[in-house]
Amino acid sequence: MIEVKSLKKSFGKVTALNGLTFSAPEGQITGLLGPNGAGKTTCLRTIYGLLKADTGEALIDGVDANVDPLEVRRKIGIFPDKFGLYERLTAREQIAYFATLHGLDGESGDAAVQQVISRLDMGAIADRRATGFSQGQRMKVALAQAIVHRPKHLILDEPSRGLDVMSTRILRDLLRELRDQGTSILFSSHVMQEVAALCDQVVVVAAGKVAAQGTPTELCQQTGEEALEEAFVKIIGTDEGIAA
């Protein structure tokens, strides 16, 4: 389980997180929905230990990434907001590099890399250098890097940005499959339809704290709205920074 407890984080005078609390259980897709600047990326970076909260804690199976970063990295896969690829490496080499970082090398490493290449239908690009890769091809490499060590938890920051319909579908199918295998999946988005289509649970974040939480149906019930889009707008109080 991923747990975020009373997280507070400021950058100078800007309060990015203001007492954020929620959890993302195993076998569920949890969507962190909020307008631009709501604090989603700051929250995710804190969970995987790239940022330290001012107060509060973020735990993976009870472990704080600031206390035991190696243990947390073993348990999670990260699809970050900015993924840089090594342009001179092939897709296979990049994925193998991440497998090695997680202690998967030799035959078991090669097998894990090949498995994820097959799962993401990357055969045609596996042995090409990343230079010239399309956005969708880059997304697949980043996703493969995130899941090659079969993490129990997967955290994705705006995963479908810049993707076409086919790539988005591949991504969604994979997330559902991993969810069904028991992975806890937490992803951020400011796109309502994406959250509505994928999530078992939605955590609506505004101004660094939880504005509402529940299944899409529960959020509609809580707000007395029939459409999720209207429910979100009512919860956040504006549709600024949210995309349909």
List of residues contacting ligand ATP (CB under 6 A): 11, 14, 16, 34, 36-42, 190
Closest to ligand ATP by CB, 124 vs 238, is 238
- Looking up tokens 């994820």 gives 116
Closest to ligand ATP by CB, 30 vs 94, is 30
Minimal distance in Å, beta carbon 185 to ligand ATP?
17
Contact 208, 20 (CB under 8 A): yes
Minimal distance in Å, beta carbon 131 to ligand ATP?
27
Closest to ligand ATP by CB, 125 vs 203, is 203
Minimal distance in Å, beta carbon 86 to ligand ATP?
24
Closest to ligand ATP by CB, 41 vs 167, is 41
Closest to ligand ATP by CB, 37 vs 56, is 37
Closest-CA residue to 44 (of 171, 189, 240, 235): 189
Minimal distance in Å, beta carbon 188 to ligand ATP?
6
Minimal distance in Å, beta carbon 137 to ligand ATP?
23
Three-state secondary structure string covering the chain: CEEEEEEEEEECCEEEEEEEEEEECCCCEEEEECCCCCCHHHHHHHHCCCCCCCEEEEEECCEECCCCHHHHHHHEEEECCCCCCCCCCEHHHHHHHHHHHCCCCHHHHHHHHHHHHHHCCCCCCCCCECCCCCHHHHHHHHHHHHHCCCCCEEEEECCCCCCCHHHHHHHHHHHHHHHHCCCEEEEEECEHHHHHHHCCEEEEEECCEEEEEECHHHHHHHHCCCCHHHHHHHHHCCCCCCEC
Closest to ligand ATP by CB, 104 vs 235, is 235
Minimal distance in Å, beta carbon 14 to ligand ATP?
5
